[in-house]
Chain A
Amino acid sequence: MKNSIKVERAKKNITQAQLAELVNVSRQTINAIELGKYNLSTILALKIAHVFDQSVHNIFELEESDWIS
């Protein structure tokens, strides 16, 4: 899964730490999501989208490899 959190953060000019606080998770979590090392829960995805005032689809995008189990 690809995500554009880093880009959205830059647009809104907020740091990983600030975003983490807004959605009530640790900073490691935001960092791991940005690096594509952790597939977040639906709830957290919705919260992040809410912070950026966007729909989830605009921030998170499926990749080809996500269809292969």
Chain B
Amino acid sequence: MKTNYLIPNQFKRIGWFLFIIGIVLGMLFLLFQLDDINLFNFKIFSIAEQPIMGKTVFFSISENNILDEFIGLLLVIGALFIAFSKEKSEDEFISKIRLESLVWATYINYAILLISIIFIYKMVFFWVLVFNMFTVLIFFIIRFNWALYRSKNQIKDEE
């Protein structure tokens, strides 16, 4: 089926590669507080930033540990590639599963966010927001692949 909003199937592998590196680095980052390592400090251009207890500064050059930015890029780009690369046989039925999974993932994601807004406060809520950057895509990938797996399994039952 012709779709202009999906990328070629080969990107799925690249996506998994980037995403897994992102997950591993992300875990290491959280476990060992790699924020404190100077090795990753670089001069960066920022559009806007606000130091703790300071004033917001626009369009400046400052120093930052870029490891967390790098991990964020890996996870987002990786997950986008996995989620929106074509299946080997992308057709109308698979498009329907794709759409259903996307709506389902959006519902679940915002249901969790709503509960978090009500019951989670302060720094823990900050971490909820951090994870929330990736969860829509992750929920989509899980639900979509599970539905695909189930429809493939149904064939085996028929035989």
Partner-binding segment picked from A26-34, A48-56, A58-66:
A26-34
CB proximity of A19 to chain B, nearest CB, Å: 13
A32 with B94: CB separation less than 8 A = no
Tell me, yes or no, whether B155 is within 8 Å of chain A by CB. yes
Tell me, yes or no, whether B92 is within 8 Å of chain A by CB. yes
Number of B residues near A (Cβ < 8 Å) is 13
B residues at A contact (CB < 8 Å):
87, 89, 91-94, 96, 148, 151-152, 154-155, 158
Compute the total of residue contacts between A and B using a CB distance below 8 Å.
Answer: 40
Given A26-B94, A38-B96, verify A31-B89 contact (CB < 8 Å): no
Q: Can you name 29 A-B residue pairings with CB atoms under 8 Å?
A: A16-B155, A25-B91, A25-B92, A25-B93, A26-B87, A26-B89, A26-B91, A26-B93, A26-B94, A27-B155, A28-B93, A28-B94, A28-B148, A28-B151, A28-B154, A29-B91, A29-B92, A29-B93, A29-B94, A31-B151, A31-B155, A31-B158, A32-B93, A32-B154, A33-B93, A35-B158, A38-B93, A40-B92, A40-B93
